[in-house]
């Protein structure tokens, strides 16, 4: 992927090659697929679709127990295909063989019979002596390189912590990149939310460093990203291409789209990429003195998923991803040093003096990282997978940038719109990136952004061309992926918007992505040259402060003027679609104690149903945050709603709150009240709420109109 910008000449050549490949597509490709073109420079080429990768020898020949003459039919790989009809036909007294058909499995194609017949169905064969005829299958006609993974047990990968031994092969690419003889490696799952999907992502660890497809350096660890939440399958790839344009970002992972087979089963299109790991060679960090030095090189990740929090700065958790000393005392000093240094950088950034900040932070990397993330509107840029590094004796640098499936209009929280500033302003504590929105408070930083934007603008305009090129060239591979995973397109896998879910084909998805990029770059170009941007009128404003205050005030009003139904809820009627963690079940919502909480892990809407003793007219309801919400603000529901019914079957919307993260503050055990506008009487209620990953609330209390 390290190709920098595609030139107009290369694009014309690409179109020409696509046309040629279409005309001369080899026999055996499906009519709906085109042979993909080779790519240029150090890009990975697609295959020629003419080489046979699976052995043509029969896997198992039917046994014959007598001396008669038989027509015997076999397959070269039972993983690739099978036969319908009898596999053993006795030929005597002029008899001929009956009908037999070669059926390819998903991801494979029938090539021919071993005697040269190309029709999959055959009958009437007659032989003078017992003859074995083999149905030869191969990997399907394809445009992308193919990764073949095999576990030593033959079983699927079920753990994202423990490696299972296996082998790796790479075919359907240039000869110098082919790994036809399987090499040893370990395979495990990877991802947080993404591990919950049926199509899994994987991490590969080789016994020795390997260069794959000419992508960057030889490395021991590589990743295969499933991109389940991106129905274009091109957002991560495109974002990495974008980050590669910014030469101040010292390293952006190299990646290439491939098709994957695991234990013979077709698994679809993945992005094969270098991983950002503790391997310091990725960033050329000086690790020579890691066992003794305090100011050694550091790779850091800012993440709400952090399992080993080394320190906190600006309300965010940081993990150290590079090696530390094995000496416990030195390790503690190293953690203290880098934590203190990052805190110094943050304090300086908050003070806003350009000279002071420039002595601590590499401002070129901060500007490039900001512009890159602002272009893509990455929903995760303040939540997870945000990297920084510091070399020995060096400044704090930003990058490498990573994880872009919820970007380019593919996420909610205003990320779907190509208009408006996103990374450069505060709007949600758990998703906003403090480094960016704090820097953007300063006029000198905004001036740097405009200058850098003008330097990059012409190159940025080429980004969407790559999306269109790959979407068209690799159409067969992408369509095959969604034939395998046919439940993805048109459904919400994570944070996709209603608009995204209306796109009904991969072609519509990649064209939407390309158009979104063009519109986003055009909008930013206008905005970065506007008086509004230079003057900073849009800067940090807590737009929801008044709404939060009003919700807290209304909670007090409900207690004063309403009639609490806390004791009227029928405990036996309480039902939930998702159980909570141990001792944090749904019953905690109705126990009147904010010290307890209903806490669970789920990626879609959770529904809590219950009823009260008699039909009531509601005045409103209260939800209360958990006792540790200040520490975990991302656990507040993103959206929530209350529904009422008189008979338990016909439901009415009583209140819908679409911006729960904004309205519910990052405060412990705090009550927020919400009015209902419907004046009807209801006995049955449903409280629905959603978020990404872990959610929690401590209380849900209904209040009836007090008619006393």
Bridge partners of residue 70, in order along the sequence: 90
pLDDT band at 37 (very low <50, low <70, confident <90, very high): very low
Question: Above 80 in pLDDT, residue 232?
Answer: yes
Q: What percent of the chain has pLDDT over 70?
A: 89
For residues 631 and 614, what is the distance between their CA atoms, to the nearest angstrom? 39
Question: Above 70 in pLDDT, residue 689?
Answer: yes
Distances (CA, A) of 345 to 31, 352, 394, 398: 59, 11, 13, 12
For residues 298 and 394, what is the distance between their CA atoms, to the nearest angstrom? 10
Contact between 173 and 44 (Cβ < 8 Å)? yes
Contact between 33 and 141 (Cβ < 8 Å)? yes
For residues 384 and 405, what is the distance between their CA atoms, to the nearest angstrom? 12
Instruction: Render pLDDT for 605-648 as a digit per residue (tens, 0 to 9).
Output: 899 999 999 999 999 999 999 999 888 877 888 788 999 999 99
* Mean pLDDT along residues 479-487: 94
Q: Residue 493 corresponds to which tokens in the numbers above?
A: 């896998």
Predicted pLDDT of residue 440: 93
For residues 584 and 268, what is the distance between their CA atoms, to the nearest angstrom? 38
Question: Above 80 in pLDDT, residue 11?
Answer: no
Contact between 437 and 426 (Cβ < 8 Å)? yes
pLDDT band at 117 (very low <50, low <70, confident <90, very high): very high
For residues 530 and 535, what is the distance between their CA atoms, to the nearest angstrom? 9
Distances (CA, A) of 615 to 67, 202, 701: 86, 53, 16
Q: Residue 315 corresponds to which tokens in the numbers above?
A: 């309300």
* Mean pLDDT along residues 74-98: 94
**DSSP label at 569?**
B
Instruction: Render pLDDT for 190-203 as a digit per residue (tens, 0 to 9).
Output: 887 778 899 999 99
Q: In whole angstroms, how large is the CA radius of gyration of the chain?
A: 30
* Mean pLDDT along residues 383-398: 92
> Phi/psi of residue 677, each to 5°?
-100, -15
For residues 198 and 191, what is the distance between their CA atoms, to the nearest angstrom? 12
Lowest mean pLDDT among 492-501, 503-512, 695-704: 492-501
* Mean pLDDT along residues 141-150: 90
Predicted pLDDT of residue 291: 82
Instruction: Render pLDDT for 399-435 as a digit per residue (tens, 0 to 9).
Output: 888 888 889 988 877 788 899 899 998 776 677 899 9
| Average pLDDT of the chain, as a whole number | 86
Ramachandran category for residue 100: left, alpha or beta (phi over 0 → left; psi -120 to 50 → alpha): beta
Single pTM value for the model: 0.72
Instruction: Render pLDDT for 281-335 as a digit per residue (tens, 0 to 9).
Output: 455 566 567 888 888 889 999 988 888 888 989 888 999 998 899 999 999 999 9
- Helix or strand holding residue 147 (H, E): strand 146-151
Question: Above 80 in pLDDT, residue 49?
Answer: no
- Identify which of 348, 372, 342, 534 has the alpha carbon closest to the alpha carbon of residue 448: 534
CB-based contacts of 167: which residues, under 8 Å, 6+ apart?
A: 149, 150, 152, 182, 183, 184, 185
Which of 82-96, 485-499, 541-555 is modeled with the greatest confidence?
82-96
Question: Above 80 in pLDDT, residue 365?
Answer: yes
Contact between 459 and 246 (Cβ < 8 Å)? no
Question: Above 70 in pLDDT, residue 221?
Answer: yes
For residues 29 and 48, what is the distance between their CA atoms, to the nearest angstrom? 11
């Amino acid at each position: 992927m390290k190709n920098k910008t595609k030139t107009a000449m290369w694009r014309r050549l690409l179109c020409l090659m696509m046309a040629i490949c279409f005309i001369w597509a080899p026999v055996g490709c499906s009519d709906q697929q085109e042979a993909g073109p080779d790519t240029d420079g150090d890009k990975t080429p697609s295959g020629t679709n003419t080489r046979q990768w699976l052995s043509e020898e029969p896997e198992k020949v039917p046994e014959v127990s007598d001396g008669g003459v038989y027509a015997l039919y076999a397959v070269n790989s039972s993983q690739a295909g099978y036969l319908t009809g009898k596999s053993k036909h006795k030929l005597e007294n002029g008899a001929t063989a009956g009908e037999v058909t070669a059926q390819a499995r998903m991801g494979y194609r029938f090539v021919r019979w071993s005697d040269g017949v190309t029709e999959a169905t055959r009958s009437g064969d007659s032989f003078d002596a017992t003859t074995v005829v083999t149905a030869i299958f191969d990997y399907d006609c394809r445009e992308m390189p193919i990764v073949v993974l095999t576990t030593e047990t033959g079983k699927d990968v079920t753990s994202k912590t423990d490696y299972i031994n296996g082998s790796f092969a790479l075919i359907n690419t240039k000869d110098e990149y082919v790994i036809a003889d399987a090499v040893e490696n370990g395979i495990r799952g990877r991802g947080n939310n993404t591990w919950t999907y049926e199509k899994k992502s994987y991490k590969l660890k080789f016994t020795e460093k390997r260069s794959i497809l000419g992508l960057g350096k030889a490395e021991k660890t590589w990743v295969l990203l499933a991109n389940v939440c991106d129905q274009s399958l091109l957002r991560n790839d495109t974002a990495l291409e974008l980050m590669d344009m910014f030469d101040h970002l010292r390293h952006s992972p190299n990646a290439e789209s491939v098709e994957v087979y695991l234990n013979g089963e077709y698994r679809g299109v993945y992005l094969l990429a270098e991983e950002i790991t503790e391997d310091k060679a990725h960033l050329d960090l000086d690790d020579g003195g890691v066992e003794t030095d305090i100011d050694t090189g550091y790779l850091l990740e800012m993440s709400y998923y952090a399992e080993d929090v080394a320190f906190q700065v600006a309300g965010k958790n940081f993990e150290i991803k590079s090696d530390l000393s094995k000496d416990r005392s030195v390790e503690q000093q190293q953690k203290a040093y880098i934590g203190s240094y990052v805190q110094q950088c943050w304090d300086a950034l908050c003070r806003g003096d350009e000279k002071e900040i420039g002595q601590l932070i590499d401002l070129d990397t901060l500007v490039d990282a900001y512009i890159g993330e602002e272009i893509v509107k990455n929903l995760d840029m303040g939540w997870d997978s945000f990297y920084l590094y510091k070399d020995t004796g060096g400044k704090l640098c930003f990058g490498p940038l990573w994880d872009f499936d919820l970007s380019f209009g593919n996420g909610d929280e205003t990320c779907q719109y190509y208009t408006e500033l996103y990374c450069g302003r505060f709007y949600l504590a758990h998703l906003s990136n403090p480094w960016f929105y704090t820097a953007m408070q300063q006029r000198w930083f905004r001036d740097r952004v405009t200058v850098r934007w003008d330097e990059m603008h012409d190159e940025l305009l080429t980004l969407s061309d790559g999306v269109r090129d790959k979407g068209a060239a690799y159409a067969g591979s992408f369509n095959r992926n969604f034939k395998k995973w046919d439940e993805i397109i048109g459904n919400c896998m994570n944070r996709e918007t209603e608009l995204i879910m209306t796109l009904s084909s991969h072609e519509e998805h990649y064209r939407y992505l390309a158009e979104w990029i063009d519109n986003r770059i055009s909008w930013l170009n206008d905005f970065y040259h506007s008086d509004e941007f230079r003057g900073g009128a849009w800067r940090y404003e807590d737009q929801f402060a008044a709404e939060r205050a009003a919700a807290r005030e209304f909670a007090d009003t409900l207690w004063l003027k309403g009639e609490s139904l806390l004791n009227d809820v029928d405990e036996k009627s309480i039902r939930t679609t998702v159980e909570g963690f141990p001792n944090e079940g749904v019953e905690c919502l109705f126990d009147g104690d904010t010290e307890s909480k209903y806490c669970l892990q789920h990626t879609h809407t959770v529904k809590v149903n219950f009823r009260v003793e008699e039909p009531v007219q509601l005045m409103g309801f209260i939800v209360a945050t958990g006792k540790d919400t200040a520490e975990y603000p991302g656990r507040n529901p993103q959206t929530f709603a209350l529904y009422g019914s008189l008979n338990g079957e016909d439901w009415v919307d009583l209140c819908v709150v679409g911006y729960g993260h904004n309205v519910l503050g990052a405060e412990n055990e705090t009550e927020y009240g919400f009015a209902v506008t419907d004046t009807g009487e209801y006995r049955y209620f449903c409280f629905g709420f959603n978020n990404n990953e872990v959610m929690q609330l401590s209380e849900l209390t209904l209040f009836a109109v007090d008619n006393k």
